[in-house]
């Protein structure tokens, strides 16, 4: 590939990504808001977030869990979020004993509590271990959010709330998943701040 071809590829890729984000803004803004509200309510009530995905989506799960435990924009207390993709002993033990399809379901059963929120990430929306993890969450009365791609696949049908990136390009879908994840972090931080301020105002009013 010569210089001119490489620059054409760069420009084409960046334009495709920018155009896809415009589509996501048009089609997914309401779902993103609802997902952030669900997460905010969960955390305000003392619940936690469980993230999982395969491959690049596993890295996205870890990235987003880190944003909640650490911080995104605001300086604030750490928020409880766990990526179920990081413990190699659990993944290999469960994969060996129960099958790869159960690596997330088993962890959801062990760690999840009613009212917690699962964020399942799959570019295809059809990964069996992702779907089994979501089904385990539903059985345990956890709320479920799916970050999917293409037509949403089974993930869009199984989750309480689906955010589907309407593309067949895996790399572009993953880029949008991180953009959506960052929005969830920012909206949650702001939502928790506003709810805490409103609570303080109500308490102050009662004391007057």
Q: pLDDT tens for the chain, 208 residues: list them.
A: 899 999 999 999 999 999 999 999 999 999 999 999 999 999 999 999 999 999 999 999 999 999 999 999 889 999 999 999 999 999 999 999 999 999 999 999 999 999 999 999 999 999 999 999 999 999 999 999 999 999 999 999 999 999 999 999 999 999 999 999 999 999 999 999 999 888 877 887 788 7
Angle, in degrees to the nearest 10, between helices 3-44 and 170-207: 30
Angle, in degrees to the nearest 10, between helices 170-207 and 56-69: 20
Which string of DSSP letters, residue by residue, matches 154-179?
HHHHHSSEEEEE--S-HHHHHHHHHH
Q: CA separation (Å) from 24 to 11, 21, 54, 149, 166? A: 20, 5, 22, 11, 8
Token representation of residue 122: 């799959």
C-beta separation of 133 from 84 below 8 A: yes
- The owner of tokens 């469980």 is 50
Tell me the backbone φ, ψ of residue 39, rounded to 5 degrees: -65, -45
């Amino acid at each position: 590939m010569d210089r001119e071809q490489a620059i054409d590829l760069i420009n084409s890729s960046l334009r495709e990504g920018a155009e896809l984000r415009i589509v996501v803004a048009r089609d997914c803004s309401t779902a993103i808001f609802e997902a952030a509200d669900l997460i905010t309510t969960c955390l305000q009530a003392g619940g936690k977030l469980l993230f999982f995905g395969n491959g690049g989506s596993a890295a996205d799960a870890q990235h987003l869990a880190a944003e909640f435990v650490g911080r995104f924009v605001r300086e604030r207390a750490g928020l409880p979020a766990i990526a179920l993709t990081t413990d190699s002993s659990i993944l290999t033990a469960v994969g060996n004993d129960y099958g790869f399809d159960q690596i997330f379901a088993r962890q959801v059963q062990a760690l999840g509590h009613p009212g917690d929120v699962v964020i399942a990430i799959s570019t295809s929306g059809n990964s069996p271990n992702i779907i089994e993890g979501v089904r385990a969450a539903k059985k345990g009365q956890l709320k479920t959010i799916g970050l999917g791609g293409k037509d949403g696949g089974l993930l869009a049908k199984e989750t309480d709330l689906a955010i589907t990136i309407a593309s067949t390009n895996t790399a572009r879908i993953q880029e949008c998943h991180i953009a959506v994840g960052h929005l969830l972090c920012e909206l949650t931080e702001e939502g928790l701040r506003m709810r805490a301020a409103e609570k303080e105002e109500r308490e102050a009013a009662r004391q007057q």
